[in-house]
Amino acid sequence: MNERVDFRSDTTTLPSDGMRRAMADAEVGDAVYDEDPTTNRLEAMTAELLGMEAGLFFPSATQANLGGIMAHCGRGDEYIVGQLAHAYRDEGGGAAVLGSIQPQPLPNDPDGIIALDAITSAIKPDDFHNPVTRLLTLENTYNGLPLPEDYMRDATELARSHGLATHLDGARMMNAAVGTGCEPSEISGRFDSVTLCLSKGLGAPVGAVFAGPKDLVDRAKRLRKMLGGGMRQTGVIAAAGIYALEHNVSRMREDHDRADRLSEIFRDCPELGAGEARTNMVFLTPDGVDMKEFTSFLAERGIITGGGHGKLRWVTHLDIDDEAIERVRRACKEFFGR
Ligand SMILES: *Cc1c(COP(=O)(O)O)cnc(C)c1O
């Protein structure tokens, strides 16, 4: 009966026919010798888009963040990071395990901000007892929320005034750019380096780009090799990234509109505790609703959602159309009997 509509994540998108054609037609060479023209093009166009000198294609944003953090920090150095940030909590502890880099996690406010005074007091003095604090890492979007522009300005200026480098985990920063109406480079340009994920809302099946100054990117390239991310005829997958950047950025507005509509639908059912849409995400904190019963009811109607810690997360993306939103509306009406 129902085709499944999957709201768990924008990572579930399947490559479109046009993207698959671009992949099939990609001109390729050995990327480890820098001879893959499609990968070189993706790296150059991403660097330009993000206002950086150079770009480097990685298999995943996790590896791009790790290679980037390791390019900034040496063994025994320290990076400051939100304690709910992906680059601290959701990457297997890579910086500590593989990079011997000590994380200094700090609390994230609900809007993703790390308080400036917390950053200041976490920066270690120049004292042989202490690790050397090298890097501040921020995340944008954070649970779908774009970081406020003045916060990014103040936090990066603060870091710089203490001699720290700055890295943006911008896995979903295209959603932030589209959501706030600013140029991507206005976001990433405040940072020394940035990671952009191609396989979230951009809809590519695989890949990420790390971008920054040329000497830093060269260091990251050696580290990528060490981490096993030096790949060969990557044009086949880089072509999907190029296609994504050319076709799937401005259309993110549709995802954000649909997230708005989802949030309205949910707010008709106050028990669901719906928050406002945050770019392409909506969070529910249900109260007095049996979550398991609700999600099973939805699943029977082909609607898949995810979550945890008492919350349900709904993510809109390329494979969620208007009909999928209407299906959610009907299911909620039926479930709550109104
Ligand atoms: C998904 C995500 C990553 C990791 O991306 P992968 O390509 O899945 O490794 C990193 N940071 C943030 C903020 C993410 O959402």
Q: Give the single-character DSSP code of 68.
A: H
Q: What pLDDT shows up at residue 3?
A: 86
Task: Looking at the CA of residue 207, tell me the nearest atom of ligand 1.
Answer: 7
Asked whether residue 133 falls in the same domain as residue 179, the answer is: yes
Among residues 87, 151, 162, 69, which one has the least CA distance to residue 122? 162
What spacing in Å lies between the alpha carbon of 264 and ligand 1's midpoint?
28
Same domain as 328, residue 216: no
Scan for tokens 């809007």, then name that residue.
111
Ligand 1 centroid distance, CA of 208 (Å): 9
Q: What is the mean pLDDT of each run of 10 residues along the chain (338 residues)?
A: 87 97 98 96 98 98 98 98 97 97 97 97 97 98 97 98 98 98 97 98 98 98 97 98 98 98 96 96 95 95 91 97 98 92
Q: In 101-148, which residue ranges form alpha helices assigned H by DSSP? A: 116-122
SS (H, E, C) 8-29: CCHHHCCCCHHHHHHHHCCCCC
167 lines ligand 1 (CB under 6 A): no
| Residue burial 231-263, b: 16+ Cβ < 10 Å; e: rest | bebbbbbbbbbbbbbebbbeebebbbebbebbb
What distance in angstroms lies between residue 127's CA and the mean position of ligand 1's atoms? Answer: 34
Whose CA is closest to atom 14 on ligand 1? 171
Contact 61, 275 (CB under 8 A): no
Could you tell me if 146 and 283 lie in one domain? no
Q: What is the pLDDT of residue 307?
A: 84
Q: Best of 142, 196, 197 to mutate for ligand 1, by most ligand atoms within 8 A of CB?
A: 197
How far is ligand 1, taken at its centre, from the CA of residue 169, in Å? 8
CA 73, 76, 77, 80 torsion-angle sign: positive
Of 193, 217, 247, the last residue of a domain is 247
| Structure-token pair, residue 253 | 């507005």
Which domain CATH number covers 302? 3.90.1150.10
Total number of domains constituting the chain: 2
Is residue 198 a part of any domain in this protein? yes
Q: Are residues 182 and 321 in the same domain?
A: no
Cα gap 167→288, rounded to integer Å: 41
Do 46 and 124 fall into the same domain?
yes
Ligand 1 atom nearest the C-alpha of 64 is 9
* Whole-number pLDDT of residue 2: 60
| Domain stops at, among 247, 270, 302 | 247
Note whether residue 37 is domain-resident: yes
- The residue whose C-alpha atom lies closest to atom 15 belonging to ligand 1 is 171
Helices 291-300, 322-336: axis angle to 10 degrees equals 130
| Structural domain includes residue 4 | no
Residue whose Cα lies nearest atom 5 of ligand 1: it is 61
Name the residue of 90, 142, 198 whose CB sits within 8 Å of the most ligand 1 atoms, as the mutation to test its pocket.
90
In this structure, which residue's CA is closest to atom 6 in ligand 1? Answer: 61
Does ligand 1 come within 6 angstroms of the Cβ of 171? yes
| Size (the chain), residues | 338
Domain containing 165: what range? Answer: 17-247
Provide the pLDDT for residue 308.
79
Same domain, 265 and 319: yes
**CB 221 near ligand 1, within 6 Å:** no
Query: Which structure tokens are listed for 242?
Result: 């190029």
Contact 7, 314 (CB under 8 A): yes
172 lines ligand 1 (CB under 6 A): yes
Q: Is there a domain that residue 331 lies in?
A: yes
Closest atom of ligand 1 relative to the 198 alpha carbon: 7
User: How many angstroms separate the CA atoms of 148 and 141, rounded?
Assistant: 10
Q: Is 60 domain-assigned?
A: yes
Q: Which of 247, 272, 292 is the last residue of a domain?
A: 247
How much distance in Å is there from the Cα of 200 to the middle of ligand 1? 8
Alpha-carbon gap, residue 113 to 151, rounded angstroms: 8
Say whether both 208 and 318 belong to one domain. no
- Picking from 309, 322, 326, the residue whose alpha carbon sits closest to that of residue 254 is 322
Q: Concatenated DSSP letters for 229-279?
A: ---SSTHHHHHHHHHHHHHSSTTHHHHHHHHHHHHHHHHTSGGG-BPPPBT
